[in-house]
Amino acid sequence: MSTKKLTHRARKRFSQNFLTDFSILEKIAKAIAPDSIDKIIEIGPGKGALTELILNSDVELHAIEIDRDLSAYLREHFASQDNFHLHEDDVLKVDFNALLSATQPARIVGNLPYNISTPLIFHLLNYLPGIKDMLFMLQLEVVERMAAKPGSKSYGRLSVMVQYHCKVEKLFNVPPSAFSPAPKVESAIVKLTPLKRDPDSLVSSEELTNLLRQAFAQRRKTLRNNLRNIISAEELESISINPGLRPENLSLDDYVRICKHLHPLH
């Protein structure tokens, strides 16, 4: 392993904040609990601090890094590690089908850049058959939205989509002081474990996404207004949904019921 020092200034365009608190890094590694039989995909390894702790478990690790300078450093730093594989790419453009397999589901981890965290989560939901679990550091607000319950201000499209596909567990908070440079927001670690859903509760992910986009288009308006172009108030009442409710007052099961009504299986 190379001992070359890295001098790298965090780049705003990549939303880079490097985790430097070793006690937090160890806590994350313990939460991941890598096993030698695991295949782990790390998104945004940065300077490789967490990467190094994971590699100590002899796992097969694939790291995805967009920054050329960091990629060059990681390639040299871990040159002697046969279990380290670097992919220099934009994670939003990565075809995860090439990295994932339903016969050996991978574990995905990473300190996700705040500027792409939500679109990246939606992107990864398309690849769940090949994913065992996901453990991410995200902006606390995003984690709270993922785990939010109906009726709360944080509850929205992200909450419903993630909870439809995964069990959401907020593990612990990470203060700004644990990073360099320190971000202006609090962070948190979240674990997402794909759910095996009952066939009767299955709906098309694309159809559910479209429904939620319409429902939450204007949060202050009622379902009667937001959904009027796709379902009538009478139809909503026929499936025991009150059209006078606002979108954040409906449960995940309510949205699944509307989706199944709009798109019955043939």
Which residues fall in the annotated binding site for S-adenosyl-L-methionine? 17, 19, 44, 65, 90, 111
Which DSSP string do the residues of the chain spell out, in sequence order? Answer: --------PPPGGGT--EE--HHHHHHHHHHH---TT-EEEEE--TTSHHHHHHHTTT-EEEEEE--HHHHHHHHHHTTT-TTEEEEES-GGG--GGGT--TTS-EEEEEE--TTTHHHHHHHHGGGGGGEEEEEEEEEHHHHHHHHPPTTSTT-SHHHHHHHHHEEEEEEEEE-GGGEESPPSS-EEEEEEEE----GGG---HHHHHHHHHHHTSSTTS-HHHHTTTTS-HHHHHHTT--TTS-GGGS-HHHHHHHHHHHS---
Binding residues: 17, 19, 44, 65, 90, 111
